[in-house]
Amino acid sequence: MKKFGGLALLLLFLASCGKDKVGSGPALKLTDMSGNYLPLPSTSQSYVLYVTLEYSAPDGDLAGLPITIQKLSSSDSLCLDPNQQRPTMVDSSGTLFAFPTDLPATENQKGEITLKLTEREFVRNKCGTQDTLEQAVFRFWFRDRSGNVSDTAETGAITIEK
C-alpha cells in the first residue's frame, strides 16, 4: 500500500511539473496599464491610456500582424437596460494596432508591446445629459500566421468621465 501511495505522489508531482512549459500556441498577457480612471480631458487634450502587453509565439513570425481590440462598456445612465448585453466595439479589421513590421522572425518569439489608446478607442456611450461616467474593459488578442489565436488579455474596469 505504501508503494502505491508513493507512486501516486511521484506521478502527481511529475504531472504538475509539466504545467510550467510554454504552450504550443501564441500567448498575450497584460503587464501594465497607465491607469484605471480617465478624467474628462480639457478642450486642448484627449483621453490617453497606455497598455503594455507581453507576447509570445512559438512560430515566431508576428511582424505586421494585427492586434484585435474589443471594448466592453456599461454606462451609469438609466437608458441602458441592465438585462441587455453591454455595448461593445470590436476592431475586427485589426486596423488600429499591429506588431511592428520590422520585428525579426525567431522561434519562440517573446517581447512586449505598448499600445496607446486614444479618443477613437474611447468612443463614449452617452444616453443623456445625466450620463457622466462609463465603465469599460478592453480585450486584446491576435492570430498568428498559422491561424492560431492567442490568449485574450483583458484590462480591469476603467472609469471614463464624460
Please report which confidence band the pLDDT of residue 23 belongs to, taking 50, 70 and 90 as the band edges.
low
Beta carbons of 136 and 157 less than 8 angstroms apart: yes
Please report which confidence band the pLDDT of residue 92 belongs to, taking 50, 70 and 90 as the band edges.
low
The proportion of the chain whose per-residue pLDDT surpasses 90, expressed as a percent, equals 39
User: Cα(91)–Cα(26) distance, rounded to whole angstroms?
Assistant: 19
Judged against a pLDDT cut of 70, whether residue 14 lies above it is answered with no
Q: What are phi and psi of 27, to 5 degrees?
A: -135, 150
pTM of the model: 0.75
- The three-state secondary structure class of 83 is coil
Beta carbons of 51 and 138 less than 8 angstroms apart: yes
User: Cα(144)–Cα(162) distance, rounded to whole angstroms?
Assistant: 36
How high is the mean pLDDT of the chain?
78
What mean pLDDT comes out for the span 120-147? 76
Closest CA to 113 of 26, 19, 38: 26
- The three-state secondary structure class of 118 is coil
The pLDDT of residue 126 = 53
Dihedral sign of CA atoms 15, 17, 21, 27 in order: positive
What mean pLDDT comes out for the span 7-26? 52
